[in-house]
Structure 1
């Protein structure tokens, strides 16, 4: 059957790649795990900040570094997950967006760790 004589064959739906879906979901789950674990350790570091000598330590700087890093990573994670899900719905490659989301979240958490180290040293 070739379709309607005037309108032609109906369009075929876009093909979804199984590995793209699996990889994208796995990377987004890994992003969430990294964010949760980093947030836990960041707040854990703040809980034991009382040993910090006042002459060389900035408690405000340490708190700002942890909160800024965690909130930035969370915001990037939400935006990246949204873009990745939209790409999956459109049946277009989504894994590059999931990789970018994970990389940006790890980068923001690493910058926060450096800022925390600079504040307490």
Structure 2
């Protein structure tokens, strides 16, 4: 009599606790940064009292702030989705969370440059 052959047991990789902690921290910091950036952007527009038309563009300032906040929000959502997919695949996800934070920071820096250029 022959023994029945069973399929080999499936081994799943566990998610590293360090990877999970770094990813969650980076994504939470990204959410906080987007919120703070949105508030500071609105305050910078609210206190734009005197904007002489020859050296200042109110529409450019509004566009810079809103574009930076919307792009950073899109990057944040995309980074969160990619991190969740990486978790589902049981792969390392902290590089994606850190890149999300870095890209959002870069977006706000570029938005600040755009705002200062528009306000002149």
TM-score by length of 1: 0.92
CA distance in 2, matches of 1:16, 1:115: 40
Aligned match of 1:17:
16
Alignment of 1:1-121 (within 5 A): 5-121=4-120
Q: Count matched residues.
A: 118
CA distance in 1, matches of 2:95, 2:4: 41
Q: Which runs of 4+ in 1 moved over 3 A?
A: none
Q: Does the residue aligned with 2:49 lie in a helix, a strand or coil?
A: helix
RMSD: 1.3
Per-residue deviation at 1:28?
0.2
- Gaps in structure 2 of 5+ consecutive residues: none
CA distance in 2, matches of 1:36, 1:113: 15
Per-residue deviation at 1:8?
4.3
CA distance in 2, matches of 1:19, 1:89: 16
